């Protein structure tokens, strides 16, 4: 890691602590995790407490009806494990059962919810506290009310058209037809009761017991597809991470069906250049980064999917030889055209085409992390899909299900590997990251942001490893997000002369707010290699806060 020359001045201090650190998208969730650590729990207990509390204080981003994936670094074993709880399409999910509307909104759009399986599998395997203790903060906030932040108010207000379509949702989140005002208390007693049932009955009550029956009954009354068999058959899955080296650092991410391999492919291309010599924030650096991302996006669209249903040539995609061939395709004088962030049957004729990696084989989401004094670290990204997921609060359960069927393709003539099918997993853009250096844990990093996750996380990582920023600086620094064609959104904090230079190269620059949530809401934890002190950073683009002791 290079030494910082104060390339970017953060607005917040780095939070530090020796015994533990929690960084989430909301201060109350961070404090819930910290409470577990202060009471003698480990990073696993803290992460589950924080993840469940986010259901209450950030209800539009994630919850028990959502899905996710995590990395867990186990200090005593010196290894990283992946837990995949990304849900599955119902057994009844076939392309003819969906329309563009029903795959996005309403009770045909959910996949089997995985978060409860993920949280409790993690807790049962490596946690040290009882479920009731870990879920207590979430239950308390749901029952007695959590303060509505200014961003809470904004997100709820922006989703009035969705929430007002469904009486059960409007009753809780739109009292008197309006979003609750900042500083008021939002109580969710039905959710509190569901969380209490989960604390008492565990996965059994959610996937096979009382809650399962209540949820399925309501879903089927509203013409949904989920069945008791779908829930009963679901389990979270332990997996091995995939990895690449970047300038001597070992970068670990989840395997497919996560799309995280796009980030590793981008890093492999960029590793061949001395980025610091190009100058932080320079047009030449940004052009290179954008072009490398577009090459990796194109391959991800072509190959990503459920590995149980499609062949994904990871060895080729992640080989250094393939990266060398990819970097030769970069035109330093002209921006290339990219088809977009996801599959399109008819991309623009001049769009980049995917490479041939087989030759080289010889949205609204939330992110959190927790670390403890022993050195264990949990890094989680979880989601409902779009804001409030499917939009429908399930009767008297207080639960929103996800709308992740939206990310499948439903055209039966599609050649996309992401065509919906029974019990299939979606191409999942959620992509938490952990980095090791010299066999020691160094970094936990991640963000929400739909397919922008795969661009934002790389930008934050480069800020740390190539430009020597601290964790808070790396998260706060201005970011961009590429879409279709040559269209790129850039935060207004990028200097106007930089944006003009990129336009001269053909990039179609759209200026967004100085601090835009569309480019994510990252959280990170860095461990000082010499002292072992944890350093936490959180994103002011949302309500993120890091706390430690």
Residue 198's CB is within 10 A of a number of other CB atoms, namely 25
Residue with tokens 């994630």: 62
Taking alpha carbons only, the member of 180, 113, 189, 108 closest to residue 144 is 189
Distance of alpha carbon 165 from alpha carbon 67, whole angstroms: 24
536 contact partners, CB below 8 Å, separation of at least 6: 14, 15, 16, 17, 21, 22, 23, 471, 523, 524, 525, 526, 546, 547, 548
Taking alpha carbons only, the member of 61, 31, 38, 20 closest to residue 138 is 31
For residue 400, give both structure tokens: 């929103």
Q: Which residues of 302-319 are buried (b: 16+ CB within 10 A; e: fewer)?
A: bbbbbeeebebbbebbbb
Identify the H or E element spanning 535: strand 534-538
For residue 112, give both structure tokens: 């089997």
Distance of alpha carbon 117 from alpha carbon 66, whole angstroms: 10
Query: Which residues is 369 bridged to in the sheet?
Result: 23, 379
Please confirm, yes or no, whether 366 is among the known catalytic residues: no
Catalytic residue among 365, 383, 447, 457: 365
Angle 240-231-145 from CA coordinates, rounded to 5°: 90
Distance of alpha carbon 488 from alpha carbon 370, whole angstroms: 33
CB-based burial label for 525 (10 Å; 0-12, 13-18, 19+): buried
Residue 125's CB is within 10 A of a number of other CB atoms, namely 14
Catalytic residues, which ones?
A: 365
């Amino acid at each position: 890691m290079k030494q910082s020359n104060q390339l970017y001045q953060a607005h917040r201090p780095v939070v530090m602590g020796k015994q533990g650190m929690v960084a989430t998208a909301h201060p109350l969730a961070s404090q819930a995790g910290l409470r577990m650590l202060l009471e003698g729990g480990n990073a696993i207990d803290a992460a589950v407490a924080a993840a469940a509390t986010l259901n209450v204080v950030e209800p539009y981003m994630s919850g028990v009806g959502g899905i996710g994936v995590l990395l867990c670094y186990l200090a005593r074993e010196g290894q990283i494990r992946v837990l995949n709880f990304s849900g599955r399409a119902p057994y009844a999910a076939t392309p003819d059962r969906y329309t563009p509307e029903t795959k996005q909104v309403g009770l045909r759009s959910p996949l089997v919810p995985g978060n409860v399986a993920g949280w409790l599998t993690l807790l049962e395997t490596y946690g040290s506290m009882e479920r009731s203790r870990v879920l207590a903060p979430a239950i308390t906030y749901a029952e007695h009310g959590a303060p509505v932040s200014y961003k809470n108010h904004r997100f709820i207000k922006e989703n009035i058209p969705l929430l007002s379509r469904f009486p059960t949702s409007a009753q809780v989140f739109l009292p008197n037809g309006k979003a609750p005002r900042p500083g008021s208390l939002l109580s969710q007693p039905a959710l509190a009761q569901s969380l209490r049932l989960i604390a008492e009955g565990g996965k059994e009550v959610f996937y096979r017991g009382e809650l399962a029956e209540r949820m399925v009954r309501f879903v089927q009354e509203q013409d949904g597809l989920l069945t008791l068999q779908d829930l009963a058959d679901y389990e979270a899955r332990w997996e091995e991470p995939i990895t690449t080296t970047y300038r001597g650092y070992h970068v670990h991410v989840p395997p497919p069906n996560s799309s995280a391999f796009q980030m590793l492919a981008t890093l492999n291309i960029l590793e061949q250049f001395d980025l610091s010599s190009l100058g932080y924030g320079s047009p030449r650096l940004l052009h290179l980064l954008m072009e490398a991302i577009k090459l990796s996006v194109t391959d991800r669209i072509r190959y990503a999917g459920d590995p149980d249903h499609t062949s994904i040539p990871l060895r080729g995609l992640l080989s250094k030889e393939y990266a060398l061939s990819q970097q030769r395709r970069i035109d330093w004088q002209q921006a290339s055209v990219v088809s977009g962030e996801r599959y399109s049957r008819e991309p623009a004729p001049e769009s980049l085409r995917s490479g041939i990696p087989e030759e080289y084989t010889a949205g609204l989401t939330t992110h959190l992390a927790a670390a403890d004094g022993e050195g264990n670290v949990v890094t989680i990204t979880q989601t409902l899909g779009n804001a409030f997921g499917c939009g429908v609060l399930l009767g008297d359960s207080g639960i929103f299900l996800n709308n992740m069927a939206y990310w499948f393709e439903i055209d039966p003539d599609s050649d996309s590997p992401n065509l919906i099918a029974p019990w299939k997993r979606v191409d999942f853009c959620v992509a938490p990251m952990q980095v090791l250096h010299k066999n020691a844990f160094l970094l936990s990093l991640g963000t929400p942001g739909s397919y922008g996750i795969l661009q934002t996380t790389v930008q934050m990582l480069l800020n740390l490893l190539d430009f020597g920023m601290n964790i808070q600086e790396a998260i706060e620094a201005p970011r961009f997000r590429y879409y279709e064609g040559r269209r790129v959104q850039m935060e207004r904090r990028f200097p106007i002369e930089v944006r003009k230079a990129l336009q001269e190269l053909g990039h179609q620059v759209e200026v967004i707010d100085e601090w835009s949530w569309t480019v994510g809401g990252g959280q990170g934890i860095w461990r000082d290699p010499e002292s072992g002190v944890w350093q936490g950073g959180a994103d002011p683009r949302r309500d993120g806060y890091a706390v430690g002791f």
